[in-house]
Structure 1
Amino acid sequence: MKQVLVFGLVVVLAFSVYYDLTEGTLPDRSGTGAADAPELQEETPGAQEQEVPPPLEISYQEVIVQSGHTVYTIVQALHQGQVIEANFERIVTDFELLNPQTDAHAIQTGQTYRFPIYPDQAQLQSQRP
């Protein structure tokens, strides 16, 4: 009887690990789940989605993402050793402002995205009166 119980527990454990790895048990961060689906607004026929221009106060550079790159590593590479005063959360927020409808944690290899460029702090201090 113990063997049947142990076998059953192993099967349940294996299934739960498989389900967790394939489907996931965390809530959907994109907000597309049925429970939190927003009310749909009527679209006019023929209306095309227009690309939202980036805010003017954020400088950016367009980069094609290579395998293994993250938003943070690309921003670091763009600054070539300069001290970046922005923390990780600000970099992610600015990236998502520059790339509407793009999750900073789900960028795709081969796609072109806008990455924020922050001014060098030494240059800012030298420009102050």
Structure 2
Amino acid sequence: MKNLMKILSYILIALFFISIYKDLSVGTTLTPENNIKQPQVENMVKTENITAMEVKVHQGDTLLTIAEKINPQVTNNLNVNKIVEDFKALNPTTDPVELQPGEFYFFPIYEKEAG
């Protein structure tokens, strides 16, 4: 019985070291850059005052996350109230807080300001 416990202990220790080796040598394939879903663009529309892009919403997306993804050039200068106001103007029957995954909505596109 004592030999069986020794053998079992050696096997568990070996499995432990093998798992550590695999974890450190193989690692993970998910990086933050790979894990971000890019917006699926269908159409671009220019209204009188707002340029917009039709984007398919994915699970977990919000108005602000999509606005940041499609406007990377002005991410630091985005005005939340303006984004919500423009979204409501582009999608008058949609509540910006309750976007449905799999649906397409129009999202405002902003130009980088000069200077």
The equivalent position to 2:69 in structure 1, one of 47, 72, 77, is 77
Identity of aligned residues (%): 37
Does the 8 Å CA contact 2:58/2:102 hold for their aligned counterparts? Answer: yes
Residue 81 to residue 57, structure 1, CA distance change in 2 (3 Å): closer
Identify which of 44, 49, 57 aligns with 1:65. 57
Preserved CA contact (<8 Å) 1:65 1:109: yes
Higher helix share: 2
**Which consecutive residues of structure 1, in runs of 5 or more, have no partner in the other structure?**
1-52
Task: Quote how far apart the aligned CAs of 1:121 are.
Answer: 1.4
Q: Is the 8 A contact 1:83 1:121 kept in 2?
A: no
Alignment: residue pair count? 71
Which 4+ runs in 1 deviate beyond 4 A?
none
Alignment correspondent of 2:92:
100
TM-score, normalization: structure 2?
A: 0.55
More strand by share: 2
Instruction: Say whether 1:109 aligns with 2:101.
Output: yes
**Highest CA radius of gyration, 1 or 2?**
2
TM-score, structure 1 as length reference: 0.49
The residue number in structure 1 matching 2:12 is: none
